[in-house]
Amino acid sequence: MDIVALLVIIAVLAAVVALVSAPLRAKAVQRARAESEDEVAELEARKEAKYREIRDAEMDLHTGKLSEDDHRTLDRQLRAEAVQILKALDDARG
């Protein structure tokens, strides 16, 4: 068999494989994008919940349900958790 004919056959096969696999690759990209969007939405919800917890702790301090020391400890913990969520959100957004 001629080397040129062999190269033409290989090129045609490569083109067919590329055309057939294109939709599969596109679906994989869409699936990854959807998973990323779901992760971002979940992290956004966790962020809002953590902010709400911080506001609730401040309200508890002002209404006398928490002492200054207890509030300081709780606030430090809640803000550290919020920072972790924000870092995860930044990573998820890429």
Residue percentage of the chain with pLDDT more than 70? 98
Confidence check: pLDDT of 25 > 90: no
Q: What angle do CA 9, 11, 15 make, to 5 degrees?
A: 115
Contact 57, 78 (CB under 8 A): yes
3-state DSSP percent of the chain in helix, strand and coil, to 5: 95, 0, 5
Confidence check: pLDDT of 11 > 70: yes
| Residues contacting residue 9 through CB under 8 Å, at least 6 positions apart | none
In angstroms, the Cα distances linking 33 to 19, 21, 80 are 22, 19, 29
pLDDT at 1: 64
0.75 surpassed by pTM: no
